[in-house]
Structure 1
Amino acid sequence: MMQELLLFGALSVGLYFLLLMTVLKLPRCKSTAKLHRKTAIVTGANTGIGKTTAMDLARRGARVILACRDRGRAEAAIQEIVQETGNNQVIFMQLDLASLKSVRSFADNFLRSESRLDLLINNVDFNCLTTHRDLVLGSNSFQLFQNYSHSKLCNILFTYELAKRLQGSDVTCYSLHPGQYTSDFY
C-alpha cells in the first residue's frame, strides 16, 4: 500500500512538471529592445517579479528607480542588480503605497530629481483589500488566491485608467502578473 502511494505521488509530481513545462508554460519576454536614456519606476522592486523586472530593465540600459518601502531591502536589491547588469543607474526612492503622504513625498522627490519618466511598472498589490500578513496567516488557500486575484485586478484596472489619462504623453504604464510564481513573501 505504501509503495503504491509513493508511486502515485511520484507519477503525479512528474505529470505536474510535464504539464508545467509544456502545456502551462507561457512565453517569456524575448525582447532585446535597448532602453538607454529611458527612466523607469518599478514599485515593489526589491524582491520577486518586481526585482526581476528591474534587473531586466537595468540590463537593457534603463535608469531604474526602485520604489520600495524598505530601504535596506531595496539597497540589497540594488547591489545585486548593479553587480549582475553592470548598470549603476539603479536607485532607491522611498514609497509606501499604503500612505498618501508617502506617495506625495515620492512624487515631489521624483519631480525634483528626475527630468523624465518613460516607464511606470505597477507591481505592488493594493493593501485596501487586506494586508499580506492577514492573507498568509488567517486564510485558507482558496481565500489567499481569491484575495490575491482581487488585488491584481485592482492593480490592472488602476494601470489601465492611468494609461488612458496619460495618453498622448511619452509615459507608458504596465502592471505585472507572473502567473505561477513564488516570491520571498510567500
Structure 2
Amino acid sequence: MYGALLIVAIIVIIALSVSVYQKTTNAICLSRRRLEGKTVIVTGGTAGMGLVIATDLAHRGARTIIACPFEEEGTNARKQIIQETGNQNVVFKLLDLASLQSVRGFASDILKTEDRLDILLNNAGVGIPGDFLTKDGMNFIMQVNYYGTFLLTLLLLPLLKKTGKPGEASRIITTASFLHMVGFVDVNNIYKANHYWSKIHIYGNSKICLVLFANELTKRLKGSNVVINNVDPGAVGTRIFDSTNIVFAPILRLLCLMFYKNPWQGAQTALHAALDTKAGEVSGQYFKNCEINRAVSRAYCDKIAKALWEESVRLVKLTDEEVEQCFKSL
C-alpha cells in the first residue's frame, strides 16, 4: 500500500514540476504595435485561440475579418469582439475550408470588397473528427487543415501583394503543430480516406504539409513584399479535443489547461509572428514560444515540397492560368 502511495506521490510531483516549468516558460508577445488602417483576416477567429487572436488584433485598431462555417458562432463572436474592444470595424464572413466552392466564394468576396490585406492568419483547423472524404474527394482533416488553407492563401495572394510594401511586408501566418513530427508526405495517397493507421497520423500529415507549403511558397514569393511563416502554439486546451472521445476530450482539455497552455497563452506566438518587426522580415520560418525554432528535418525537403505543391494545385482544381494570376498584384 505504501509503495502505491509513493508511486502516486512521485507522479503528482512530476506532474506539478512539468506544470510549473511549462507555465513559467510560456512566452508572451511583447509588441505594442497599433493596426489602425490595417486589415486582417483570422480564419477560425470565432472560438478558442482564434477568438483570442482576433480580439487582440481588433483591440489594436485593425479592421478584423473573422471567418468560420457556423453562422451563430460567428455572429456571437463578432458581437463579443466589438463589446470587448470597442472596435466597430469587425466583420464576420462564412467560410467552410472543407468546401472548395466556399473557399473560392470567400476569396472572391474579399477581393471585391477589400482594398488591402495586411495579415492573413490561417488559424482554422480541426482535430480528428473522422476519416472520411469531403464532396471534393479529399480526406476531411486534410482538406480543412491543409488543402483549403492552401487554396485560400493562393487566391488572396494578389491582395496581399498589393498591400505589402518595402520594409512592411504583408504577412501570412499558418498554425502548425508539434504533431507535424508524426506526419509523412506520400503525395499520391495523403489526401485519401481510410488509408492511414490513425487519425492522429492524418492530423500530423496535415500539419507537416503546412510547413512544406510555407517553405515552397517562400521560394515562389522571393522578391515580393509578402512573407509566410508557421507557428506552433504548443498543447492548448481548446475545443479541438472534442473530436477525440466523449470521455477523454474534457480530460485532455483539462490536462492541457493545467499543465500547458490556455487559449490566451496559445495565441501568443501567432500574435508575435503577426506583429513583431523582426518576424515580418523573415519567411518560411517555424516559430515556437515567440522565437524561431526548427521543424522536423523532413519538412525542409525541397523535392517533397515541390511535389506536394504540384499535387495540391491539381487537387484544389487551380488551372495554370489561375496560378499565374495568383502571383500578380491587383
Same fold at TM > 0.5: yes
% of aligned pairs identical? 39
Corresponding residue for 1:21? Answer: 23
Corresponding residue for 1:52? Answer: 52
Gaps of at least 5 residues in structure 2 are 132-178, 183-197, 242-330
The structure-2 alpha-carbon separation of the partners of 1:145 and 1:159, relative to structure 1 and needing over 3 Å to count, comes to same
Cα deviation, 1:4-45, whole Å, max 9, x if unaligned, reads 2442232122111122134xx242211111111000111111
The structure-2 alpha-carbon separation of the partners of 1:166 and 1:59, relative to structure 1 and needing over 3 Å to count, comes to farther
Rounded to whole Å, the distance in 2 between the matches of 1:112 and 1:164 is 28
Corresponding residue for 1:138? Answer: none
The structure-2 alpha-carbon separation of the partners of 1:75 and 1:166, relative to structure 1 and needing over 3 Å to count, comes to farther
SS at 1:179 equivalent:
coil
The structure-2 alpha-carbon separation of the partners of 1:73 and 1:169, relative to structure 1 and needing over 3 Å to count, comes to farther
Q: C-alpha root-mean-square deviation of aligned residues, in Å?
A: 2.7
The structure-2 alpha-carbon separation of the partners of 1:85 and 1:47, relative to structure 1 and needing over 3 Å to count, comes to same
Corresponding residue for 2:96? Answer: 96
1:154 to 192, 209, 218: 209
Query: Are 2:234 and 1:179 aligned?
Result: yes
Partners of 2:128 and 2:199 within 8 A in 1: no
Partners of 2:45 and 2:54 within 8 A in 1: yes
Gaps of at least 5 residues in structure 1 are 136-140
Partners of 2:42 and 2:54 within 8 A in 1: yes
The structure-2 alpha-carbon separation of the partners of 1:184 and 1:36, relative to structure 1 and needing over 3 Å to count, comes to same
1:185 CA displacement: 2.4
Rounded to whole Å, the distance in 2 between the matches of 1:82 and 1:174 is 28
1:155 CA displacement: 2.4
Partners of 1:117 and 1:171 within 8 A in 2: no
TM-score for both structures, normalised by structure 1: 0.79
1:60 CA displacement: 1.0
The structure-2 alpha-carbon separation of the partners of 1:156 and 1:49, relative to structure 1 and needing over 3 Å to count, comes to farther
Partners of 1:66 and 1:92 within 8 A in 2: yes
Give the 5 Å matches for 1:14-163.
Answer: 14-22=16-24, 25-125=25-125, 132-134=128-130, 143=198, 145-162=200-217
Rounded to whole Å, the distance in 1 between the matches of 2:71 and 2:224 is 31
The structure-2 alpha-carbon separation of the partners of 1:160 and 1:74, relative to structure 1 and needing over 3 Å to count, comes to farther
The structure-2 alpha-carbon separation of the partners of 1:153 and 1:71, relative to structure 1 and needing over 3 Å to count, comes to same
* Letter of the 1:101 counterpart: Q
Rounded to whole Å, the distance in 1 between the matches of 2:200 and 2:128 is 12
TM-score for both structures, normalised by structure 2: 0.47
The structure-2 alpha-carbon separation of the partners of 1:46 and 1:83, relative to structure 1 and needing over 3 Å to count, comes to same
Partners of 2:46 and 2:73 within 8 A in 1: yes
* Letter of the 1:8 counterpart: I
